[in-house]
C-alpha cells in the first residue's frame, strides 16, 4: 500500500504548487510593481521550495532556489521595485526550477543535467548583476549587501539545522578570544537561535572579572557545510568545549527527550517527573533539575522543529488536509463505479424477482451507493483554477511575442472539475487562447483605428450549468469573418457554393478537420492543430465546444463538459432491438404519442408551441423506421432542442461508462458503452453530436458519415 | 571613572569610558565599594565601549544587589539600548535592570 507514496512525489507535488504561486506573484508584480505583498509571496514560495528541497536532499534544486531567493531578499529588504528585467529573469528561473523538479527521481542524463545547471547559473548571474546595479542605484540596505557578498557560489549545500554547544574556557577573555565575534560569524552563516547561560556568573565578591563564566547553546539553520561551521571556532583554546550536533528535522520532539539528549536531564528523572503531570518545562525548573535558560534553549529547539515540519506541510500547518496520490483516488472512483454498476444490476434483478425483502435491501443499498458515489466524485474534483492559473503566464508570453497588449481576467476559479478533465482540457484551452491572441485580438494600431482601447482583453471564465461546467474564452478582438470562412470552406470542398448558410452554421465549419482560417499560419497557433482537434479532445470528455462571434466586437468560445467522467446517470432505451443510454443531464422531457408533421421534407413536432426537429433514431442507425406511436425524448444541448424518437423506454440506469476505443472514433452519435446485468451492451448516445448533426443536416454534401 | 555616591539606601554608580576586559577588575572594585545598596542606579550615560566581560560584570553586580534584596536600574538611554541589543544577540537572560519598568 505504501508503494505509491514516496517523498519525492510529495515534494514534486508541493513544489509545483509553490512554483505556480511564485509565477502568479511575478505576473502580478508586472502589473503592479510596488506591491510588497506580492514580493513577499514570491519570496515565501522560493523559501519553502528551498527548505523542503533541502530536506529531501535535492541539493542542486535547493541551491538554485536559494540563489533566486537571495536576489528576492534584496528586492524585499531594500524595497527596490521589481522591474521588467527582474520579472523576466524570475520567470526564467521558475521554468528552470520546474525542469529541476521534473528530473527528480529520474536517472539523470549527465550532459542534459550539466546544461540545465549552466542555464540556472546564467540566470543567477544575470539576476545578481541586475540586483547589484539596482541596489546601487536605489541605495541598498547593509543586510542586502551581505546577501550579495555571501553568494559567490552558485549552488549551496544542504540547508539543515545544527545545535552548537559552546562552553568557552575560563581564560577565554584573557586569551583574546571574543565569543561575541564567534556568534557574529555564525550569524553570517545562517539563522541563529541563541541561548546564553549567565547562571555561572558569581557575585561581585566571588568573581574574577577577567575570567569567562558564560556558555552558549546555538541552533543554527544554515547551508554552510560542517567545515565552515568548525572554522568559526578554529582559534578557541584547548580548555574550551565545543559540540556540534545535527538537529533531526521535520519531526516533533517532546521537550523531555530534547533535554535528555542534551544531557540536561537523565532519562530516569524524566520518567519520574512525567508520572506527575504538566507542564513539564515549569516543573523541571521548579525542581531545579534544569535551569531556566536550559529550558528556554530546549523550547527554542522544539519550536524550530515544529516550524520545520510545518514548512513541509505546505508551510501553513493546515492539518485539515492530507495528500493522497491521485492513483489511489482513481482506484476508489473506479471501485465505486463498479459498485454503481452492480447496484444497477441488483435493482433490476430485485424488480424481476418481485421479492419485497430483497427490494427494500436494494433500496438501502442504492442510497448508500449513491452517497459514496457523490463523495468519491467530490474527492476527485479540483478547482478550475489549477487549470486556469498557468494561462496567466502563457497569455503574457504569447502577447509579448506577438507585440500585442492583452489583459487577462479570470472568473469563477472556484468552480470544480474532475481532475482528469483538467488534464485533458489543458491542450484544447491553450489552443483556443493562443488563437484568440493571435487571430482574435488585433494589433495596437488596428485597435486604435477601430476606436478600441489599445490593450485587448481576454476573459476566461468557468461556471456551473446544470450537470455541466461551462468554460468560456471571450476576447474583444476583431471577431470572425463569416464571409472569409465561407470562402475557405468552399475552396476546401467542405460546402456547396450554392448552399445558403446561417452565421452559426458557418462558424461550425471551423471545426471541420483541416480547416484553418489563418491566411498565414503563425508560430503561435499554427502548430498543425486546428479547432477540429480541440473539438475531438473535448468530445472525448463527452463535452461540446461552440463558437459565437460578432464581427468587430470579439469572439467567444464555449466549452461545455459534464461534471464528471466516470459515472453517468442515464435513461435506458431501446432502438430497434439494441439498448441505448441517454445521459439524463440532456433530457428535457419524455413524451408519448406525439403527432408528427413534416417541414421541408424533415420530421418536426410541436413541442410546447415551438417547432422542434424530430430525429427517428431507428432511421439514423439504419434499423428501419419507428412506429408513429413510439415514445419521444426531448433533449437539449446548448441552445438547441431536438426530439428523438425511440423504440422503447425502460427507465433510469446508472453505470460506469466505458470508452469505446479508437476503432469507434469515427462513429457519430455514440460516445461509450455500458454493460447491462445479463452482459448485453448498451451504447451511450452522444446527444451533443446528434443535435449538431441535426442542425447541420441539409447543407453538407454527400450526406452523413 | 566609576564613582559611587555615599547614601545609605539610594546609590548611583557611574561608569565613564569603557567597560571592557582591561578595566573590569578595577571597576569591579569600585562597584563593590558601593554595595550594599537598597536602590542602585547604574549611570551609563557616559559609557563608551562595552564587551562581554563588561556585560558579565553587570550580571555579577545584579546578582550581588539581588542577593541583598535590593533593586537596580540603568540610566542612559543609548547605553540601555545597546545593552538590550547585546543581551538579545547573545541570548542571555534579560537582567532585571533592563526590564522595562512598565512591565512590572
Contact state of A207 with B28 under an 8 Å Cβ cutoff:
yes
Q: With cut-offs at 50, 70 and 90, classify the pLDDT of residue A152.
A: very low
- What residues of chain B lie within 8 A of the CB of A297, using their CB? 91
Which of A196, A205, A213 is facing B91, going by the closest CB pair? A196
Determine contact: A165 vs chain B, CB below 8 A: no
Is the pLDDT confidence value at A458 over 90?
yes
Q: With cut-offs at 50, 70 and 90, classify the pLDDT of residue A327.
A: confident
Q: How far is B90 from chain A (nearest CA, A)?
A: 6
What pLDDT sits at residue A554?
92
User: From the CB of residue A625, how many other CB atoms can be counted at a distance below 10 Å?
Assistant: 10
Task: Please compute the mean of the pLDDT values over residues A333-342 and round it to a whole number.
Answer: 81
Rg (CA), chain B: 13
Contact state of A179 with B52 under an 8 Å Cβ cutoff:
yes
Q: What is the 3-state secondary structure (H, E, C) of A458-497?
A: EEEEEEEECCEEEEEEEECCCCCCHHHHHHHHHHCCCECC
What pLDDT sits at residue A521?
46
Mean pLDDT of all residues belonging to chain A: 78
Element (H, E) at A532: helix A531-540
> Which is nearest to A421 in space by CA: A324, A568, A537?
A537
- Decide if domain A160-307 falls under CATH 3.30.70.1150: yes
What pLDDT sits at residue A567?
65
- What residues of chain B lie within 8 A of the CB of A170, using their CB? none
Condensed to tens digits (0 to 9), the pLDDT of residues A548-607 reads 998 889 999 999 887 766 567 789 999 988 999 998 888 989 988 788 787 777 788 888
A581 close to A572: Cβ distance less than 8 angstroms: yes
Architecture of domain B3-99: 2-Layer Sandwich (3.30)
What pLDDT sits at residue A138?
40
DSSP A658: B
Q: What is the largest CA-CA distance in chain B?
A: 36
Q: How far apart are CA B86 and CA B54, in angstroms?
A: 11
CA separation, residue A28 to residues A84, A133, A389, A553 (Å): 12, 23, 12, 27
Is the pLDDT confidence value at A621 over 90?
no
Q: How far is A286 from chain B (nearest CA, A)?
A: 17
What pLDDT sits at residue A147?
29
Q: CA of B25: which chain A residue's CA is closest?
A: A209
Least trusted range by pLDDT, from A363-377, A503-517, B76-90: A503-517
Q: What is the 3-state secondary structure (H, E, C) of A299-342?
A: HHHHHHHHHHHHHHCCCCCCCCCCCCCHHHHHHHHHHHHHHHHH
DSSP A638: T
Q: What is the three-class DSSP state of A696?
A: helix
Determine contact: A554 vs chain B, CB below 8 A: no
Q: How far apart are CA A408 and CA A699, in angstroms?
A: 38
A639 close to A560: Cβ distance less than 8 angstroms: no
CB burial of residue A702 (10 Å; 0-12, 13-18, 19+): exposed
Task: Please compute the mean of the pLDDT values over residues A22-51 and round it to a whole number.
Answer: 84
Determine contact: B56 vs chain A, CB below 8 A: yes
Contact state of A210 with B27 under an 8 Å Cβ cutoff:
no
Task: Please compute the mean of the pLDDT values over residues A366-394 and round it to a whole number.
Answer: 84
More confident residue, A20 or A348: A20
Interface test mutation site (partner B, options A179, A180, A204, max chain B beta carbons within 10 A): A204
DSSP A653: E
The domains of chain A are located at 7-138, 160-307, 326-379, 382-562, 567-703
Q: CA of A198: which chain B residue's CA is closest?
A: B92
Locate the DSSP E strands across A3-92. none
Contact state of A201 with B59 under an 8 Å Cβ cutoff:
yes
Contact state of B28 with A178 under an 8 Å Cβ cutoff:
no
Q: How far apart are CA A642 and CA A633, in angstroms?
A: 8
**Model ipTM over 0.95:** no
Q: How far is A175 from chain B (nearest CA, A)?
A: 11
What pLDDT sits at residue A462?
93
Residue listed under C-alpha cell 423506454: A649
Q: What is the three-class DSSP state of A536?
A: helix
Which of A197, A202, A204 is facing B31, going by the closest CB pair? A204
Q: How far is B54 from chain A (nearest CA, A)?
A: 8
pTM: 0.48
C-alpha cell at A556: 467567444
Q: What is the DSSP string of A279-294?
A: -HHHHHHHTTSS-HHH
- What residues of chain A lie within 8 A of the CB of B53, using their CB? 173, 209-210, 212
User: From the CB of residue A26, how many other CB atoms can be counted at a distance below 10 Å?
Assistant: 27
Residue listed under C-alpha cell 463558437: A547
C-alpha cell at A14: 508541493
- What residues of chain B lie within 8 A of the CB of A180, using their CB? 51-52, 86, 89-90
Q: What is the 3-state secondary structure (H, E, C) of A217-259?
A: EEEEEECCCHHHHHHHCCCCCCCCEEEEEECCCCCCCCHHHHH
Q: How far apart are CA A528 and CA A533, in angstroms?
A: 10
Determine contact: B57 vs chain A, CB below 8 A: yes
User: From the CB of residue A461, how many other CB atoms can be counted at a distance below 10 Å?
Assistant: 18
Provide the phi-psi class of A613: left if phi over 0, else alpha when psi is between -120 and 50, else beta: beta
Per cent of chain B over pLDDT 90 is 18
Determine contact: B93 vs chain A, CB below 8 A: yes
Q: How far apart are CA A196 and CA A191, in angstroms?
A: 16
Q: How far apart are CA A313 and CA A323, in angstroms?
A: 10
Contact state of A198 with B52 under an 8 Å Cβ cutoff:
no
What pLDDT sits at residue A154?
31
Q: Report domain A382-562's class.
A: alpha beta
The domains of chain B are located at 3-99
CA separation, residue A676 to residues A572, A615, A698, B52, B88 (Å): 10, 25, 36, 86, 76
Determine contact: A193 vs chain B, CB below 8 A: yes
Determine contact: A54 vs chain B, CB below 8 A: no
What pLDDT sits at residue A461?
94
Q: How far is A218 from chain B (nearest CA, A)?
A: 9
C-alpha cell at A359: 427490494
Which of A196, A197, A209 is facing B25, going by the closest CB pair? A209
Instruction: Establish how many alpha carbons lie within 13 A of residue A77's alpha carbon, considering only the half-sphere containing its beta carbon.
Output: 17
> Which is nearest to A461 in space by CA: A540, A558, A394?
A558
Which of A183, A203, A292 is facing B90, going by the closest CB pair? A183
Determine contact: B96 vs chain A, CB below 8 A: no
A693 close to A683: Cβ distance less than 8 angstroms: no
Determine contact: B27 vs chain A, CB below 8 A: yes
Architecture of domain A567-703: Beta Barrel (2.40)
Q: How far is A203 from chain B (nearest CA, A)?
A: 5
Q: With cut-offs at 50, 70 and 90, classify the pLDDT of residue A33.
A: confident
3-state helix, strand, coil in chain B (%, to 5): 45, 25, 30
A148 close to A222: Cβ distance less than 8 angstroms: no
C-alpha cell at B31: 562597584
What pLDDT sits at residue A129?
79
Condensed to tens digits (0 to 9), the pLDDT of residues A423-454 reads 888 888 988 998 899 889 999 999 999 899 99
Domains A382-562 and A567-703 share a fold: no
A421 close to A542: Cβ distance less than 8 angstroms: no
Condensed to tens digits (0 to 9), the pLDDT of residues A472-483 reads 999 999 998 888
Contact state of A210 with B91 under an 8 Å Cβ cutoff:
no
- What residues of chain A lie within 8 A of the CB of B32, using their CB? 204-205
Condensed to tens digits (0 to 9), the pLDDT of residues A400-429 reads 888 899 999 999 888 888 887 888 888 889
What pLDDT sits at residue A535?
86
CATH assignment, A7-138: 1.20.120.160
Rg (CA), chain A: 34
Task: Please compute the mean of the pLDDT values over residues A316-322 and round it to a whole number.
Answer: 52
Q: CA of A177: which chain B residue's CA is closest?
A: B52
Q: Quick one: how far is CA A666 from the chain centroid?
A: 33
Q: With cut-offs at 50, 70 and 90, classify the pLDDT of residue B28.
A: very high
Query: Would strands A567-575 and A648-656 be described as parallel, antiparallel, or unpaired?
Result: antiparallel
- What residues of chain A lie within 8 A of the CB of B24, using their CB? 209-210
Determine contact: A293 vs chain B, CB below 8 A: yes
Element (H, E) at B91: none
- What residues of chain A lie within 8 A of the CB of B28, using their CB? 204, 207, 209
CB burial of residue A99 (10 Å; 0-12, 13-18, 19+): middle
Determine contact: B33 vs chain A, CB below 8 A: no
B91 close to A194: Cβ distance less than 8 angstroms: yes
A506 close to A586: Cβ distance less than 8 angstroms: no
Q: With cut-offs at 50, 70 and 90, classify the pLDDT of residue A666.
A: low
DSSP A700: B
B48-78: b or e for each residue (b if 16 or more CB lie within 10 Å)?
eebbbbbbbbbbbbbbbbeeeebebebebee
Determine contact: B91 vs chain A, CB below 8 A: yes
Amino acid at each position: 500500500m505504501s508503494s505509491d507514496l514516496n517523498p519525492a512525489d510529495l515534494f514534486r507535488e508541493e513544489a509545483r504548487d509553490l512554483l505556480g504561486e511564485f509565477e502568479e506573484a511575478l505576473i502580478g508584480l508586472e502589473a503592479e510593481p510596488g506591491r510588497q505583498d506580492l514580493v513577499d509571496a514570491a519570496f515565501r514560495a522560493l523559501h519553502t521550495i528551498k527548505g523542503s528541497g533541502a530536506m529531501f536532499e535535492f541539493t542542486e534544486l535547493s541551491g538554485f532556489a536559494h540563489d533566486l531567493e537571495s536576489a528576492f531578499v534584496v528586492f524585499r529588504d531594500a524595497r527596490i521595485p521589481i522591474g521588467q528585467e527582474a520579472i523576466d529573469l524570475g520567470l526564467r528561473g521558475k521554468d528552470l526550477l520546474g525542469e529541476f523538479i521534473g528530473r527528480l527521481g529520474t536517472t539523470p542524463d549527465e550532459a542534459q543535467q550539466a546544461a540545465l545547471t549552466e542555464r540556472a547559473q546564467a540566470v543567477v548571474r544575470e539576476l545578481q548583476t541586475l540586483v547589484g546595479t539596482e541596489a546601487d542605484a536605489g541605495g541598498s540596505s547593509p543586510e542586502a549587501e551581505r546577501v550579495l557578498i555571501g553568494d559567490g557560489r552558485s549552488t549551496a549545500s544542504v540547508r539543515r539545522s545544527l545545535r552548537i554547544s559552546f562552553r568557552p574556557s575560563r581564560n577565554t577573555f584573557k586569551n583574546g578570544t571574543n565569543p561575541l565575534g564567534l556568534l557574529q560569524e555564525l550569524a553570517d552563516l545562517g539563522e541563529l537561535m541563541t541561548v546564553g547561560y549567565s547562571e555561572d556568573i558569581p557575585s561581585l565578591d566571588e568573581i574574577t572579572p577577567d575570567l569567562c563564566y558564560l556558555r552558549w547553546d546555538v541552533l543554527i539553520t544554515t547551508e554552510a557545510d560542517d567545515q565552515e561551521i568548525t572554522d568559526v571556532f578554529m582559534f578557541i583554546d584547548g580548555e574550551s568545549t565545543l559540540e556540534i550536533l545535527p538537529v533531526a528535522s521535520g519531526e516533533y520532539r517532546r521537550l523531555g527527550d530534547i533535554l535528555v539528549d542534551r544531557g540536561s536531564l537523565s532519562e530516569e528523572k524524566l520518567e519520574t517527573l512525567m508520572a506527575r503531570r504538566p507542564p513539564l518545562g515549569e516543573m523541571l525548573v521548579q525542581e531545579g533539575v534544569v535551569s531556566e535558560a536550559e529550558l528556554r534553549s530546549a523550547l527554542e529547539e522544539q519550536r524550530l522543529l515544529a516550524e520545520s515540519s510545518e514548512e513541509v506541510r505546505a508551510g501553513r500547518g493546515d492539518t485539515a488536509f492530507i495528500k493522497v496520490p491521485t492513483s489511489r483516488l482513481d482506484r476508489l472512483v473506479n471501485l465505486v463505479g463498479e459498485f454503481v454498476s452492480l447496484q444497477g444490476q441488483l435493482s433490476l434483478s430485485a424488480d424481476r424477482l418481485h421479492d419485497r425483502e430483497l427490494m427494500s435491501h436494494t433500496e438501502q443499498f442504492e442510497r448508500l451507493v449513491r452517497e459514496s458515489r457523490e463523495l468519491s466524485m467530490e474527492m476527485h474534483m479540483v478547482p478550475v483554477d489549477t487549470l486556469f492559473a498557468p494561462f496567466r503566464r502563457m497569455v503574457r508570453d504569447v502577447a509579448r511575442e506577438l507585440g500585442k497588449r492583452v489583459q487577462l481576467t479570470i472568473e469563477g476559479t472556484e468552480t470544480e472539475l474532475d481532475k482528469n478533465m483538467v488534464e485533458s482540457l489543458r491542450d484544447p484551452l491553450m489552443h483556443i487562447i493562443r488563437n484568440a491572441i493571435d487571430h482574435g485580438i488585433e494589433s495596437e494600431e488596428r485597435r486604435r483605428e477601430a476606436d478600441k482601447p489599445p490593450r485587448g482583453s481576454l476573459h476566461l471564465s468557468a461556471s456551473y450549468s446544470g450537470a455541466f461546467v461551462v468554460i468560456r474564452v471571450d476576447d474583444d478582438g476583431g471577431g470572425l469573418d463569416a464571409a472569409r470562412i465561407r470562402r475557405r470552406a468552399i475552396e476546401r470542398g467542405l460546402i456547396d457554393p450554392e448552399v445558403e448558410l446561417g452565421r452559426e452554421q458557418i462558424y461550425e465549419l471551423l471545426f471541420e478537420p483541416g480547416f484553418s482560417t489563418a491566411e498565414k499560419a503563425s508560430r503561435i497557433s499554427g502548430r498543425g492543430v486546428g479547432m477540429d482537434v480541440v473539438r475531438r479532445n473535448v468530445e472525448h470528455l463527452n463535452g461540446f465546444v461552440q463558437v459565437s462571434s460578432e464581427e468587430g466586437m470579439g469572439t467567444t468560445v464555449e466549452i461545455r463538459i459534464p461534471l464528471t467522467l466516470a459515472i453517468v446517470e442515464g435513461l435506458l432505451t431501446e432502438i430497434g432491438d439494441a439498448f441505448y443510454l441517454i445521459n439524463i443531464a440532456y433530457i428535457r422531457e419524455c413524451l408519448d404519442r406525439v403527432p408528427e408533421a413534416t417541414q421541408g421534407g424533415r420530421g418536426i413536432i410541436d413541442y410546447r408551441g415551438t417547432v422542434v426537429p424530430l430525429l427517428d433514431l431507428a432511421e439514423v442507425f439504419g434499423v428501419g423506421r419507428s412506429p408513429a406511436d413510439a415514445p419521444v425524448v426531448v433533449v437539449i444541448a446548448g441552445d438547441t432542442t431536438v426530439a428523438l424518437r425511440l423504440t422503447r423506454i425502460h427507465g433510469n440506469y446508472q453505470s460506469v461508462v466505458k470508452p469505446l476505443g479508437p476503432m469507434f472514433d469515427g462513429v457519430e452519435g455514440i460516445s461509450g458503452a455500458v454493460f447491462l446485468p445479463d452482459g448485453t451492451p448498451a451504447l451511450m448516445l452522444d446527444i451533443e453530436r446528434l443535435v449538431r448533426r441535426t442542425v447541420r443536416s441539409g447543407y453538407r454534401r454527400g450526406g452523413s458519415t | 571613572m566609576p564613582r559611587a555616591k555615599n547614601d545609605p539606601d539610594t546609590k548611583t554608580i557611574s561608569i565613564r569610558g569603557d567597560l571592557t576586559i582591561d578595566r573590569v577588575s578595577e571597576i569591579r572594585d569600585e562597584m563593590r565599594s558601593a554595595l550594599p545598596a537598597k536602590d542602585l542606579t547604574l549611570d551609563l550615560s557616559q559609557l563608551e565601549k562595552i564587551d562581554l566581560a563588561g556585560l558579565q560584570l553587570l550580571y555579577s553586580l545584579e546578582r550581588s544587589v539581588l542577593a541583598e534584596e535590593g533593586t537596580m536600574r540603568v540610566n542612559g538611554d543609548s547605553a540601555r539600548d545597546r545593552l538590550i541589543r547585546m543581551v538579545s544577540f547573545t541570548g542571555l537572560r534579560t537582567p532585571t535592570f533592563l526590564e522595562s519598568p512598565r512591565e512590572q
